[in-house]
Amino acid sequence: MVRLRAYVFFIFILLGVRCKEGSMPDVSEGLPDQIVHEFVLQESASGRRLYRLTAIEAVVLEREGRIDVKSPEVVFYDDGGAVYSRLRADAGVVLSRNEDLVARGNVVVETAESTRLYTDSLVWNNTRKLILTDAVVTIESPKGRIVGKGLVADAGLNKIEIVSEVRGSSNYEFAP
């Protein structure tokens, strides 16, 4: 009789544990699918290289459709394959669906012509091939310095629109 009670008790314990297992959340839900050190992502269209992103580390979250990158550097290429500009930041997120990039923390974009854009965050819209931000920006070039809030620009910083609060200085001299 004691053996039978022990056996019945053991079965109840197993059933109880089994029920709890079914109601427990999936442990892998919050975990990354991959962690990649010395990450490299190449983006091209019709065989033409558009940009190359490198990062110290990438955390791939496939279910969320994103890749979190640490210390990203993005090199943008012009139509001829020459380096157009470089973007550096403390951190970033690549959205897998469209290869858009969000850069955060000490963001610097430097062109081949030595123009530099400084801000705390920006978005590279891969579909439109534009840099966008609502944050404060500073643009420095050999011709002067401009500060403003919000920006829309191409990757080479050749076409720049500062949205508001624009001020600046220049050593450029106008001819009469």
What confidence category does residue 175 fall into, taking pLDDT thresholds of 50, 70 and 90?
A: low
DSSP string, the chain: -HHHHHHHHHHHHHHHHHHHHHHSPPGGGGS-SEEEEEEEEEEEETTEEEEEEEEEEEEEEGGGTEEEEES-EEEEE-TTS-EEEEEE-SEEEEETTTTEEEEEEEEEEEETTS-EEEEEEEEEETTTTEEEEEEEEEEEETTEEEEEEEEEE-TTSSSEEEEEEEEEEE------
Q: What is the pLDDT of residues 59-90, one digit of tens each?
A: 999 899 999 999 999 998 888 888 989 999 99
pTM, two decimals, is 0.74
pLDDT (average), residues 137-159: 90
Across all residues in the chain, what is the average pLDDT?
A: 81
What confidence category does residue 173 fall into, taking pLDDT thresholds of 50, 70 and 90?
A: low
Residue 118, number of CB atoms within 10 A of its CB: 15
Q: What is the pLDDT of residues 21-59, one digit of tens each?
A: 444 445 556 677 888 899 999 888 778 888 899 999 999
What confidence category does residue 121 fall into, taking pLDDT thresholds of 50, 70 and 90?
A: very high
What confidence category does residue 19 fall into, taking pLDDT thresholds of 50, 70 and 90?
A: very low
Share of the chain above pLDDT 90, in %: 43
